[in-house]
Chains A and B, each alone.
Chain A
Amino acid sequence: MAMSLRIRIDPTACTGHGVCADLLPERIELDEWGFPIIQPEVPSSLAAPARRAVRACPVLALRLQRTQKNQREGNPGTVTVTDRRHHRREPDATDGVVGNERLTALTGVVLLIGFAIEGMTLLALHRLLTLHFFLGMLLIGPVLLKIGSTGYRFARYYTGAAPYVRKGPPAPFMRLLGPFVILTSLAVLGTGVMLGVAGPGSGPWLFFHKASFVLWFGCMTLHVLTYVWRLPCILLGTPDGHGGHAEPGVARMAVSGGGTRWLLVGAALAGGLVIALLTIHLVGPWDGRLFFH
């Protein structure tokens, strides 16, 4: 087994700068228009200047590939991309769609964890009521963010934005379920807020809170069961978002706006925290009384 290097060029990226030919004249010459004519095989004696040439390209049009040659059989074996730095891609219009899907998924994970804890407080609600209320208020932020990001996809789809139209709507059943997920979520949170504001013993809010919870729980179970298995792929950016794995040697799909997505989720949590802190005093009158009501 011998390793050999090959130079690969993306001709659509190359702007004819010509630095590569200066750094690796043994393998690269320029044509009359200043674009490189490359002999791709790089012997090990030229590996160092070849790397320099690849790094020097101002538009990152060059890459080095390591080829494993099985010399006995003489056929080129697996090809691995060596230099990840040169695997950066230009953002394109699909990034919006994929980024939107990732934001929705990321917020979904935050909510899944949050509501799981919230669910546990139900087991000992008389002791954990403060936590229950606080967490519920905190989750208002991420819930609104999730409605926002799915609403954005909805709006882009119906206003005919090409990438969203081509991605298509969600599967028919999920399309039907979506509005119920949103309505029941808003109902559970809204009645929770009303319970705090109205105080114990006044009005039908406790009944509404419990009733909307039951409906919400049904919708949510279906919603979570449908999407949860796709989460890892969407978040990790493997090629198909459906349980596939990235090709060997190819960096996982980086989608521009990763920082923005984390920032949005952070901001949603911070917003929720502010709401929670401002409303926490409302839980006082309720403490310990829920079950005597």
Chain B
Amino acid sequence: MSTQTTRPLAARLTVGWHQAARPASLGEHHARYGPRPEAGRDLAGAVAAAGLTGRGGAGFPTGVKMRAVAARRGPAVVVVNGMESEPASEKDQALLARAPHLVLDGAVLAAHAVGAGTVHVCLDRARDQQITALMRAVGERRRARVDPVPVMVHGLPRHYVSSEETSLVRWLNGGEARPVTAPPRPSDRGVGRHPTLVDNVETLAHVALVARYGPAWFRSAGSSDAPGTFLVTAAGAVAGPGVYEIEGGTLVGDVLEMSGAVDDGFVLLGGYGGTWHPMREAAQLPLTAAGLRAAGASPGAGLVLALAPSSCGLAETTRILGYLAREGAQQCGPCRFGLPAIADDFAQLAAGRPEDGVLDRLHRRLGVIPGRGACRHPDGAVRLATSALNAFASDVRAHAAGHPCAAFRRGRTAAGLPIPRPRAEGQWR
């Protein structure tokens, strides 16, 4: 993983990263950002005024969520989502590996603001080093007695959907890390039935900065509809893959340029549940929720994935769909049967050996699956598939007529997107 800050438009979370080979110690962290301020109860108000939105993918206003949890009676719980299950994403891992105390500051401040007595940090069980490093950071804080609430670090099983917020809550309650039908939402009834604030690690790092420097400072970077800075991961066919910190409102084209993408071809925005676009069109759009909405896209957790010019978009989509189909929690019919079905349709298309009527069937399937799972996982897979049919429309016609493109016949190229190995079955606890 390279963490380049060649042309940072603003360095807030990434201050000092280029020289850091290890996590900042508590002393280094305090030297960089100053000590953690005394938590005011109105942190939720400040966060709302700052316009901070969730960085885990959904982009929900963080201040609103904090207020909702704080308004419920009784002690609350804070859950830190550091699972980063999106295969190509590296931003949360990079953040935890460099500035763990910024994230922990944010979690503890949020805990105070919502009246929580415990902070649970959820990490991917397979990332041993990350867990060890974070436990060390937590131990450092315990010895320095900086935190009024206990912070517990947990290693959860690795699946795409195990990082969804209801999965985390279910696991912390002793169950499997699989999504649960909402309502009740975790903010109403979560861990131990207490109101629970689930936030992404990057979101909480920004909370720590808002608490220190205030909402006006936060808005001094970024645009009015996307205030602050954002960590993004650029990957795929780029010369400098890695994590970049950009100001809100930065164009997709700028991210492609700073990461060294060849400027023609296709880009997948938002992650594996995101959307494909011709680079030329996407380049003009700001990488923000508002800026991408008209194009039917979303920045998700800040992913900009370039397709190698020599790769086949349909083949690449087929691989991703197969992965998403395998990674479902196998709980909801439309997800369990629907995702493998569309992955299979795509495989037929990509191979240029489609059964009769496969396109009609595929369109019908894509129409009935969304909105029918307990979580948004199937919706993401359908979004990806639908956008591939649009972006690669001419390829689709050729493949459907039995003429797969040259790229497909050549097979996989080196700059393919990462597809994690199939998981051990049944490891949900």
Contact = CB atoms under 8 A, between A and B. Distances in A.
A117 interface: no
A35 interface: yes
Interface string B175-186: 100111100100
Interface in B195-216: 195
Determine the main DSSP class of B at the interface with A: loop
Nearest to A38: B372
A92 B173 contact: yes
A10 B181 contact: yes
A11 interface: yes
A96 B189 CA distance: 18
Interface in A236-270: 239-245, 247, 250, 253
Residue from A12, A92, A167, A244 with most neighbouring chain B CB atoms (10 Å):
A12
Given A11-B332, A243-B73, A243-B74, A35 B337 contact: yes
B320 to A, nearest CB: 22
A285 B266 CA distance: 98
Contact of A240 (B172, B173, B193): B193
B194 interface: yes
B418 interface: no
A187 B340 CA distance: 66
B174 A11 contact: no
Given A11-B373, A31-B368, A245 B334 contact: no
A206 to B, nearest CB: 45
Interface string A44-77: 0000000000000000000000000000000000
A14 B332 contact: yes
Given A239-B74, A239-B193, A92 B181 contact: no
Nearest to A97: B174
A241 B74 contact: yes
A155 interface: no
Contacts of B184: 247, 250
A245 B172 CA distance: 23
Contact of A162 (B174, B192, B334, B368): B174
B29 interface: no
Nearest to B120: A166
A37 interface: yes
A14 B174 contact: no
Contact of A10 (B192, B368, B374): B374
Contacts of B170: 92
A78 interface: no
Given A93-B174, A163-B174, A250-B184, A11 B331 contact: yes
Interface in B243-297: none
Contacts of A33: 333-334, 337-338, 341
A163 B74 contact: no
Contacts of A13: 181
Contacts of A93: 173-175
A11 B326 CA distance: 18
B301 interface: no
B195 to A, nearest CB: 8
Contacts of A242: 73-75
A163 B193 CA distance: 13
Contacts of A98: 193
Residue from B75, B152, B192 with most neighbouring chain A CB atoms (10 Å):
B192
Contacts of B193: 94, 98, 239-241, 253
Nearest to B372: A11
Contacts of B383: none
A151 interface: no
A168 interface: yes
B104 to A, nearest CB: 19
A138 to B, nearest CB: 35
B191 interface: yes
B333 A244 contact: no
A34 interface: yes
B197 to A, nearest CB: 14
A12 B172 contact: no
Contacts of A15: 333
Given A12-B180, A12-B374, A240-B193, A31 B334 contact: yes
B188 interface: yes
Given A94-B192, A245-B73, A250-B184, A12 B334 contact: no
B41 interface: no
Nearest to A233: B74
A271 interface: no
A128 B300 CA distance: 75
Contact of B181 (A12, A34, A94, A243): A12
A266 B181 CA distance: 37
Interface string A162-201: 1100111000000000000000000000000000000000
A242 B175 CA distance: 23
A16 interface: yes
B72 interface: yes
Contacts of B194: 239-240
A21 to B, nearest CB: 13
A240 B188 CA distance: 10
15 contacts: A11-B334, A12-B181, A14-B332, A31-B338, A33-B337, A33-B341, A93-B175, A94-B173, A163-B174, A166-B120, A166-B174, A239-B74, A240-B193, A242-B75, A244-B72
A-B pairs with lowest CB-CB distance, top 5: A240-B74, A93-B174, A163-B174, A35-B333, A11-B332
Interface of A: 10-16, 31-35, 37, 92-94, 96-98, 162-163, 166-168, 239-245, 247, 250, 253
Given A96-B174, A166-B192, 12 more contacts: A11-B332, A11-B373, A12-B331, A15-B333, A35-B333, A92-B174, A93-B175, A163-B173, A166-B191, A239-B194, A240-B194, A243-B74
